[in-house]
Structure formats: C-alpha cells, structure tokens
Chains A and B, each alone.
Chain A
Amino acid sequence: MADQELETKIKTEEYFVNMGPQHPAAHGVLRLLLTIDGEIIKNVEPDLGYIHRSIEKMCERDSYQQIVHLTDRMDYLSSNINNEAVCLAVEKALEIEVSDRVKVIRTIISELTRIASHCLWWGVMGMDLGALTTYFYAFRDREYINDIFEETCGARLTMNYNAPGGLMFDIHPNFVKRTKDFIKHFKTKIPEYDRLVTGNVIFQKRTKGVGVLTKEDAISYGVTGPVARGSGLSSDVRKLHPYSAYDRVDFKEALLTAGDTFARYEVRIMELWESISIIEQLIDNIPEGEIKATTKAVIKLPKGEYYQRVEAARGELGVYINSTGTKNPYRVKFRSPGFSNLSVLNHITKGSKIADLVATMASFDFVIPDIDR
C-alpha cells in the first residue's frame, strides 16, 4: 500500500543505457540497448552485427573440406563440435559410414571441448558476479584440455581436426594417457568449484529466482541447450538423436525444473560430470579402424537438402546444406544455439535489476561470434 502511494507520488523517468558493444559483461561485442528506471530494467534490446563475418556466405565460395575450418570461428569454444556437425552433414549426404574409431575419437574430443567450454563459462560466470578468482582456477583446468588438443591436433582452440569422412590424422600416442590424467585431476577440482561458488550464500542469493524461464517460454522461443534443460525442457540432441558414439555410452541428461539462473548453473555443473563419465566409458577401448574413409579429392554432394543437428556446448547446433550438385554448396545455414537463446533475454530480465541482467547473461553463456556469424 505504502509502496504504491510512493510510486505515484515520486515521478521517475526512464533512460537509455548502451550496455556494450564494449562492456565487461558482454563477453565480446554484444550491444544491449537498456531502458532503465533507476536500477530496474524496463526493456532489453540486443543489437547485433558488430562481429558479422558472413561465414554462411563464405561457405558458398568454399569446397566442403574448406567449410569445416570456418565453423571453428563461429562458436570458438566448442570448435570441434561445430566441425563435427559439418562433417556429419557431408557424410550423411555422401552416405559414408565412418569407422568406429573415428566415431569414438570424435565423441571423446567433443566431450573434452564441452568440458573446456563449461570450464571457461564457470570462470566467467564467477567473474561476472564479482568473484574474480574463479577465472584463474577454471583456466588452470582448461589448460590441460588445451594441451591435449595441441598435442593431437596442433592447435589449441581452432582445431580443424575433423574432415569429411573422418579425421585429418590419428590421435597422438600420448592422447589416452593425457586424457586420463586430466580426468583424474578434474574429478578433484569440480568439488572445489562447488565449495568455492555453488554453496556460497551470496552466489545463491544472486542466482536463485533470478531470470526465471518457464518451460513453455523455453519451447516457444526455441531455447536449447543447458538453458532449456534448466527449465525442464529435455532437449539434449545426444539423447534424442544420437550421433557419433553417443548411442553406445550410458549417460544421464542433466535436467532441472527451476528455470532460474541457479538451475542453469547446476545443469552445466552436472554436464561436467556427465562428460567425464562419457569420456571414461570410451577412453579405455578406442577401437581400431580406418582414420579416414576414402573420399574423392573434390567432394560433390548430390543435389538436395541436408540437415544435421548436434549438441554444442551452448545448445543445439544445426547445419543446413543445400547442394545443387556442384563442388560448392548452394546455400549453407547454421542454426546457432546462442541466437535463439539471446531472443529470450528481454522476456526474462524485464523488471529485474542491472545486476540480475548480468547474472542471467552469464548463465546463458553467450559467445558472440556464435550469435553473429
């Protein structure tokens, strides 16, 4: 009652704030046009286009082998998963069956990529909420994975390890040992993450009940990935449409129903454990086999449309290829997880405070080059 009286008596005025394109919480060059009343957010309008590199158009110029390396640069934190998506689409079109060895190695490296991506997200989430130390702990653990990648693929981030028909070359002899070492190390570190951040009372107050996304909204906005799973929407492509070696491993889909920032956080921590369990199931028995199926030097896809979906670290990544039978695709379209997830931001942050917007954005884990290709 008293509050309402005050609200009518005090005249306030809304104002605009440009959050970004250069802003510490924007994780890149995302520009948010905020309409704010005091500390309360009235409207959030994302403005994209600051890192548009026309990757889809460039794909039309390139051959199918060359497309793969461009996808590294979309969601650079799950680069191998993107590569895998394109390769799977091309293999589907050519009706190539890759060997079991390729499938298993692809799965292991994709899961390592997912762990690396979630590690970075955990560090950045802590940093966005003001706990700067998390960043360094996360990077310490991510460094192990980057070393594994560097030894096997030659690059740490933009790996380009997959090729249509298999892998570019075999895994390094040290790969299995290093991966096992990392798993052993990382299993002791996730409980530490929990002690440092998850249980922290300030963290829980900042995240619980903040940015609540209902299951219905998640469906209608096309939200995927950990964000959707935090709202109770089962959307794990690895479970629903298994690809590579996911049909032969036993893992649970991380699913929570609260739909708030804390649930999204918990889902990602659960996914870390699931990824570890997937790698553990596969690492000891990588089957022998061809590392690359024989393809022609110039790949020409039969005329038609092809679509392949995979579960990237941020959600469902779809690759659509329209071929007219030439050596270049007629049209390539990537359905990136970040773009659909971003669309729901205004809906769930309206009426909350600036600090809540930052927490919600951190839990969405945006990678701007993925949103803005």
Chain B
Amino acid sequence: MNFLIMNIPLNITSTIHDWIYSIMPETAASITIMVLIAVIYLALFAIIGLYLVLLERKVAAWFQLRLGPNRVGPWGIFQTIADALKLVSKELTSNDRIDKFLYNLAPYFVIVSTLIGISVFPFSKQFQAFDINIGLFFLFAVSSIGVIGILVGGWASNNKFALIGAMRSGLQTISYELSVGLSLLTMVLLTGTLQLSEIIEVQRTGGWLILQGHIPAIIAFMIFMIAGTAETNRAPFDLVEAESELGAGFHTEYSGMKFAYFFLAEFINMFIIASIAVVVFFGGWLSPFGITDGITWFPEVLWFLIKVVMIIILMMWFRWTFPRLRVDQLLTLEWKYLLPINLANLMFMAVIIWMNWTI
C-alpha cells in the first residue's frame, strides 16, 4: 500500500498512526487509517460548510444594516446546525417523470468533487492528507467534475428552469476554468512546481508570491478572484441560480438533504477557491513577516484560516454589492477581457522571471 503516502496530521494522530499499525496487520491498518482520515475530513467538511453559511449570513447582514442570525445560541452560532437538522428531517420530494437514477446521483457528484478538492490542501506543515506533486493540476481536474453534477441535476429534474440553469452552468464553468488555470499558471512560472507544499516552501524564503511577482502577480490575483467567483457560481456570476430569473435554477426540484448537498458544496467550493488563493498568492500557513516563526507551539493552521476567511469575506463583499451579469456579458467578460489580459500577463511574467526582475 505504498500509494498511501500520507502526512498524518499533527502529533496526536501520528501516535494513533503508530498504535494502529502495532495492533493490526499492515493492510487492515492502512485501511483503518484511510477510513479515519476520511471521517476527519468529512467532519471538517461539515463544520467548514455550516460555519461558512453562518459567516455568509452574518456578513450579508452587516452589509445590509441587519443583525443576522442571533436566536439559536449566542450570536446565533448554532443557527446553521439547526438548519441542517431541519433539512435532514425533511421529506425528499421530487418531480413527476424525473430520471430517478441521475436525479439521485447529481448531489453526490457535486459533493464528492469538493470533498476530494479539500484533501490536498496544506492547512499547516503537518496537516495535509494528500501531498501529490501535481497538486494544483489535480485541483483543476477535480473542481471541473462538480459541474457535471449540476448539469446532470438540472437535466434529470424535468424542470425547464432547472435545465436553463444547468446549461448556463455548463458554459460558465467551461469558460472560466481557462482563466483560473491561466492565472495560476502565471504563478507556477514563479514557483516552478505544482506541489502545494513546495509552493509554500518557496514563499518562506522569498516572501509571499503576490509580493515576489508584484505587477503581474497582482493582475493574476485579480483575474483569479473574478474567475474563481465565477467558478463557484456566486453572485455576480450566479446565473445558474439567478433567483429573480429562474427561481432557484438547477436545484429547483431538490429538497431536504439533497438540496443541502448542493448548498454546502457551493460554500466548500468557495473555501477551495479561497484556499488556492491563499496558498498560491499569500503564503499558505506562513505567518506574515514571520512574526510567529519562533513560537513552536503556535498553530500555523490559524494563519491559514485567517487568510482564507479574509478572502472569503472579499468574495462575499462582491456578492452583496454587484448586480448579476447577463449570460452573453458573462462570456464577453471571459473571452474578450479576462483571457487576452491573462495571456499577456503570462508573457509579462515570463519576461520578468527571465530578466530576473522579481523581488
């Protein structure tokens, strides 16, 4: 079972790791470890998803002169857990004449692709389940599976609004993947590696990549944020759901926990995009200016989460400020603006590295 090269998170778990290997045969032990890690990541997934929903609701309230959820627990911290319990207990209704198999399959597509996505992130030096040498490439590949779930869900639910939403999703994700990829490729020129842990190591000595790459890196970051927001189907690119046009878009016919899967996946996707931004542009779990480098007990994962939350708040800021684009304007933005700028930026970055103008 050599393919399981896992950096088991933190010291506590490494003792568990040793203990499990000492009490059972090797194959059984590695399977147990796999299950354990899956459970840890599932729990992480649920917690991140639920608390991002809460954060979104709170942040939206603060933008809109409201208070946000404040009834369930202090500052409403159990609100989304209560919501999740409600969704679990609700009946799974469905439309007449749906494609049953695809209809039931679609939420899993969405949720599994996002779950795989978070497995490669280095939350801290030790806390990384799966450190492959093509980390960034793997992330693109996985994140494009999610759109299949949306397409399938919209197609299978026998609803015209859902179908329109799903088709919009298809063209949107396919277009904007280019920009996400190219903007990250610009940064890969700088790091020379696709492995996420290596990318962070590069930044330990040379400073965060957004500083190292200065102008092209900032342009790449801006493009990444725009394209990333579009990838996650969030406003101003939420044509897939487009409340005022399509009702609820592709998940119109989903209810209960199946709807919750789509809903959570959206937030986990946002987390993934923000995490990529943090790893590639803002030094991952590295502390700013190395202020906590000397403190050995300091949980580096905290820096990672702080940075991710900042990026997520920026994305929420977009969402609660801008109107939605029309579908043809969406494509104009990608093909006429983002893509040419991105290509020019890539060249610019190459020149900068060639001339050794990096900081």
Pick from A25, A140, A197, A353: contact of B323, CB under 8 Å: A197
Inter-subunit contact B320/A353 (CB<8 Å): no
Inter-subunit contact A130/B238 (CB<8 Å): yes
Q: Does A155 contact B (CB under 8 A)?
A: no
List chain A residues, Cβ under 8 A from B239: 355
Inter-subunit contact B244/A128 (CB<8 Å): yes
Size band of the interface chain B makes with A: 20 to 34
Are A24 and B247 CB-contacts (below 8 A) given A130-B242, A133-B320, A354-B164?
yes
Q: Does B292 contact A (CB under 8 A)?
A: no
Measured CA separation A136–B320 after assembly (Å): 11
Inter-subunit contact B326/A25 (CB<8 Å): no
Which of chain A's residues 86-131 have a Cβ closer than 8 Å to chain B?
126-131
Q: Does B7 contact A (CB under 8 A)?
A: no
Q: Mark B317-333, 1 if CB is under 8 A from A, else 0.
A: 00011111111110000
A352 to chain B: closest residue by CB: B326
Pick from B60, B323, B328: contact of A126, CB under 8 Å: B323
Interface hit among B62-70, B90-98, B253-261, B276-284: B62-70
Q: Does B245 contact A (CB under 8 A)?
A: yes
CB of B248, distance to nearest CB on chain A (Å): 9
CB of A339, distance to nearest CB on chain B (Å): 23
B243 to chain A: closest residue by CB: A24
List chain B residues, Cβ under 8 A from A42: none
Are A202 and B65 CB-contacts (below 8 A) given A17-B161, A355-B242, A355-B324?
no
List chain A residues, Cβ under 8 A from B327: 39, 353, 355
Measured CA separation A136–B242 after assembly (Å): 19
Which of chain A's residues 6-45 have a Cβ closer than 8 Å to chain B?
15, 17, 23-25, 39
Measured CA separation A342–B66 after assembly (Å): 35
Q: Does A132 contact B (CB under 8 A)?
A: yes
Measured CA separation A131–B66 after assembly (Å): 16
Which of chain A's residues 196-210 have a Cβ closer than 8 Å to chain B?
196-197, 200, 202-203, 205-206
Pick from A25, A133, A136, A203: contact of B244, CB under 8 Å: A25
A15 to chain B: closest residue by CB: B160
List chain B residues, Cβ under 8 A from A75: none
Measured CA separation A202–B321 after assembly (Å): 11
Are A129 and B323 CB-contacts (below 8 A) given A25-B244, A206-B329, A354-B245?
yes
List chain B residues, Cβ under 8 A from A136: 64-66
B159 to chain A: closest residue by CB: A17
CB of B263, distance to nearest CB on chain A (Å): 17
Q: Mark B286-325, 1 if CB is under 8 A from A, else 0.
A: 0000000000000000000000000000000000111111
List chain B residues, Cβ under 8 A from A354: 164, 245-246
List chain B residues, Cβ under 8 A from A137: 64-65
Pick from B161, B164, B245, B328: contact of A358, CB under 8 Å: B245
Measured CA separation A140–B239 after assembly (Å): 28
How many A-B residue pairs have C-beta atoms within 8 angstroms? Tell me: 80
Are A355 and B320 CB-contacts (below 8 A) given A15-B160, A140-B65, A206-B326?
no
List chain B residues, Cβ under 8 A from A135: 64
Inter-subunit contact B323/A133 (CB<8 Å): no
Measured CA separation A24–B236 after assembly (Å): 18
Are A17 and B64 CB-contacts (below 8 A) given A24-B247, A129-B323?
no
Which of chain B's residues 126-169 have a Cβ closer than 8 Å to chain A?
160-161, 164
List chain A residues, Cβ under 8 A from B180: none
List chain A residues, Cβ under 8 A from B65: 136-137, 140
Measured CA separation A358–B326 after assembly (Å): 11
Measured CA separation A235–B206 after assembly (Å): 67
List chain B residues, Cβ under 8 A from A206: 323-326, 329
A354 to chain B: closest residue by CB: B245
Measured CA separation A128–B245 after assembly (Å): 8
List chain A residues, Cβ under 8 A from B324: 129-131, 202, 206, 355
CB of B88, distance to nearest CB on chain A (Å): 26
Inter-subunit contact B320/A205 (CB<8 Å): no
Which of chain B's residues 224-269 have a Cβ closer than 8 Å to chain A?
235-236, 238-239, 242-247
**Could you name 8 residue pairs across A and B whose Cβ atoms are closer than 8 Å?**
A23-B247, A130-B324, A132-B60, A135-B64, A202-B324, A205-B325, A353-B326, A353-B328
Interface residues of B (CB under 8 A from A): 60, 63-66, 160-161, 164, 235-236, 238-239, 242-247, 320-329
| Beyond A130-B243, A132-B320, A133-B64, 9 extra complex contacts between A and B, CB < 8 Å | A39-B327, A129-B244, A131-B321, A135-B64, A196-B321, A202-B322, A202-B324, A202-B325, A203-B323
Nearest 9 Cβ contacts at the A-B interface: A130-B324, A129-B323, A136-B64, A131-B323, A355-B326, A25-B244, A128-B244, A130-B323, A133-B320
